[in-house]
Homo-oligomer: A and B are copies of this chain.
Amino acid sequence: MRLRVTYHLACSSRLAAERARDIAFEQTVELPADAVPPEVAARVAGRVESVEAIGRGRSRAVISFDPGAACGDLPQLLNLLFGNISLKTGILIAGLEWPADLLAALSGPRLGIAGLRELTSVRGRPLLCTALKPLGLSALHLARLAYGFARAGIDLIKDDHSLADQTTAPFRERVERCQEAVARANGETGGNALYFPNVTSVPSAMSERAGAARRAGCRGVVVNALPAGLGAVGAIAATGLAIMSHPSLAGAFFHSDHGIAPEVLLGDLFRVAGSDAVIYPNVGGRFTFPEATCAAINARLRGPLGPVPPSFPVPAGGIDAARVPHWIERYGADTIFLIGGSLYAQPDPATAAERLVAAMRRHTHG
């Protein structure tokens, strides 16, 4: 079976067949058809499966690729799907159909929804997550926040994705203090809150930080998947840590007529890369996704995908704590709600977190 990619092309169907053929060659043999030995073209070049008009100067082309061209390797897969044609215009990846052997080679999340539920001992309800912020606070101060959130019953307490190794809260000190604070709170409440530090960095530092996080007792981490390189997600996942992927930079791909559709990038690709949970900007927050896009991301993260376990969607980006019951209603139990700013807008974030936890419990047990 082949990897089938649906491209939306900003051109009429009259021109679309030739554009589709250009894409099929550009992304593989990178030569015009007449400069490629025919037997090589037949084996290796993309194959235009269909082209049709979808209205208003837009067409849909399905191009299939030999999955062997991707080598089971995320960076090469991205290159195959959109590498060179990113430099052209009017080409949007709107859908992917995955062959089983490519999915098996990419492996996907090690834990997924089931594994994260196991780690947090949370069944039958969504998870609540918040972020330690802002950048600029000391490790001690962040650890105090972490303690308060864990005491309040927040399930996942993550570093803000901009906390790296700044001198205000150096990575090692921050991880040790925050992990200790959360463990202490768990000891007091009998709870099972987890702390996920952000380990994003260059490859060597990232692997050192993941090791330090594991040794400190953390069970998962945050990765800014595109700045790090999507292949870095799998590298960290292989160590056994849970991965919450952050969509930093992803918006560069989200143009309506050129790029990769949000549900393909954050849904399919972040999932197969090994993310156990994927953060995305929820409708109605500080960012701009329509509700249908959010629903599509949820569906791509959770839906059947061969041997690849489902991942948790993590709607975020300005969710109001007071609206969480509404979002639980819409998105269902297999969701992690990331509530950050709305807690920090209150005089005491930990007290606001307690109210959030209580509201969620009333709603899911009521």
Check A83–B224 contact: CB distance below 8 A: yes
**Looking across the interface, which residue of chain B has its beta carbon closest to that of A285?**
B87
CB A17 to nearest CB in B, in angstroms, measures 18
CA A255 to CA B256, docked complex, whole Å:
12
Given contacts A75-B200, A164-B73, A341-B31, contact A287 B135 (CB under 8 A): no
> What is the 8 Å Cβ interface bit string for chain A, positions 119-152, against chain B (1 contact, 0 not)?
0000000000001011111000000000000000
Instruction: Enumerate chain B residues within 8 angstroms of A79, measured Cβ to Cβ.
Output: 161-162, 200, 224, 227, 248-249
Quick check: is A82 within 8 A (CB to CB) of the other chain? yes
CA A120 to CA B43, docked complex, whole Å:
36
Number of copies: 2
Looking at A40, A73, A135, A202, the one whose CB has the most chain B CB atoms below 10 A away is: A202
Looking at A87, A228, A286, A345, the one whose CB has the most chain B CB atoms below 10 A away is: A87
Question: Which A residues are within 8 Å of any B CB, using their own CB?
Answer: 26-32, 34-36, 40-41, 43-45, 68-69, 71, 73-76, 78-80, 82-89, 131, 133-137, 160-162, 164-168, 200-207, 224, 227-232, 234-235, 247-255, 258-260, 281, 286-288, 317, 340-341, 344-345
CA A228 to CA B232, docked complex, whole Å:
8
Instruction: Enumerate chain B residues within 8 angstroms of A165, measured Cβ to Cβ.
Output: 71, 73
Check A134–B44 contact: CB distance below 8 A: yes
Q: What are the 8 tightest A-B residue pairs by CB atom distance, in nearest-first order?
A: A229-B229, A86-B251, A202-B231, A44-B136, A29-B134, A83-B248, A87-B251, A75-B227
Instruction: Enumerate chain B residues within 8 angstroms of A205, measured Cβ to Cβ.
Output: 73
A-B contact pairs, 10 of them (CB 8 A): A69-B166, A73-B201, A75-B201, A76-B227, A78-B227, A79-B248, A83-B162, A229-B230, A229-B231, A255-B255
CA A306 to CA B291, docked complex, whole Å:
47
12 further A-B contacts with Cβ under 8 Å, apart from A79-B200, A85-B251, A252-B260, are A26-B286, A30-B160, A32-B341, A34-B345, A44-B168, A73-B164, A75-B200, A76-B227, A79-B224, A87-B287, A203-B235, A252-B252
Q: State which of B44, B86, B137 has its C-beta within 8 Å of the C-beta of A248.
A: B86
Check B134–A36 contact: CB distance below 8 A: yes
CB A338 to nearest CB in B, in angstroms, measures 12
